[in-house]
Amino acid sequence: MEYTNLGRSGLSVSRLCLGTMNFGPETDESTSHEIMDLALDNGINFFDTANVYGWGENRGRTEQIIGNWFAKGGQRREKTVLATKVYGDMGSWPNQGRLSALNIRRACDASLARLKTDYIDLYQMHHIDRNTPWEEIWQAMEVLVTQGKILYVGSSNFAGWHIAQAQASAHKRNFVGLISEQSIYNLITRDIEREVIPAAKHYGLGIIPWSPLSGGLLGGVLDKQNKGGSRRFEGRSKQILEQKHDQIKEYEDFCKKLGQSPADVALSWILAQDSVTAPIIGPRTKEQLQGTLSVLDFKLDKDSLKALDSIFPGHRTAPEDYAW
């Protein structure tokens, strides 16, 4: 396993991040524990979750599963760099969501209880809260740091100018501020290249891409459909598949020429991108995780990276991408 620092921090994390969103809704607790054990055994020390995972009436269930795994001992907690998130509504009553100082305090305490730990390594804001001033947010985060309940703060789904706002406000308080940004990023969806990645580079934030396989569309979907083994895609994924069918076909043909699986090529591409710390992989089974580990065995050369950019063109830094 390869390791790198998360952004400008001294925190060392694996180049693959274990996403846990399927734990509970798709994967039972026993299998979830086996997946986390397998991840640690293979050197993956970076785990990502959120207080809302489990969804609906089961919000918080994923954190509970992780907490029960930590409770088994064996230095599971000590070996894990734990990232969770705050923002989503955990109930229907006022102040049970978003980023008020009150909710940040309550949500953190509730996550700690579910996770059966006394600290969170990376506490991420799951979404921007346009109704709460940064002074209030940073004051609440500073209190949690002082109390030892969190060590670092990250963002998720922020725009470039949100990152700039956050860091300017943190700087006034002589506070470290953000060390990471978690965004959707893959060969198909490359919007963050315009301003989010440049902002992250400027402020020293590590990029943690979610959905690196675009919800499975970069995992050999057309080949699987031809063999009758692909799941049905609905909603936005179905629309993207229809719109990008020819590009995805060209992509899968290119992967065959390379002799590599489409999933490995997509992950290898994103690992080669500037400022990317670790893409989030979200296995539902041990076999899926084991198959993903092979991505670390090869790296795409410059010609292959250029070919992929021609299939799925990206964006230059704003405003050059849309102006002279």
Which residues contact residue 207 at a Cβ distance below 8 angstroms, ignoring those fewer than 6 apart? 180, 181, 182, 183, 185, 192, 196, 197, 200, 273, 275, 276, 277
Angle (deg, nearest 10), helices 134-147 and 160-172: 60
Going by pLDDT thresholds of 50, 70 and 90, the confidence category of residue 226 is confident
The whole-chain average pLDDT of the chain stands at: 96
Dihedral pair phi/psi, residue 166, rounded to 5°: -60, -45
Instruction: Tell me, yes or no, if 53 is annotated catalytic.
Output: yes
Q: Which domains does the chain have, with CATH numbers?
A: 3-215+262-300 (3.20.20.100)
pLDDT tens, residue by residue, 28-61? 999 999 999 999 999 999 999 999 999 999 999 9
Give pLDDT tens digits for 85-129: 999 999 999 999 999 999 999 999 999 999 999 999 999 999 999
Q: Is 278 exposed, middle or buried (CB count within 10 Å of its CB: 0-12, 13-18, 19+)?
A: buried
Instruction: Point out the catalytic residue in the list 53, 123, 152, 203.
Output: 53
The arithmetic mean of pLDDT across residues 221-226, rounded, is: 88
How many CB atoms lie under 10 A from the CB of residue 259?
7
**pLDDT attached to residue 230:** 66
Q: Which residues contact 143 (CB under 8 A, 6 or more apart)?
A: 105
How confident is the model over 184-195, as pLDDT tens digits?
999 999 999 999
Could you tell me the pTM of the whole model? 0.96
Residue 225 reports pLDDT greater than 90: no
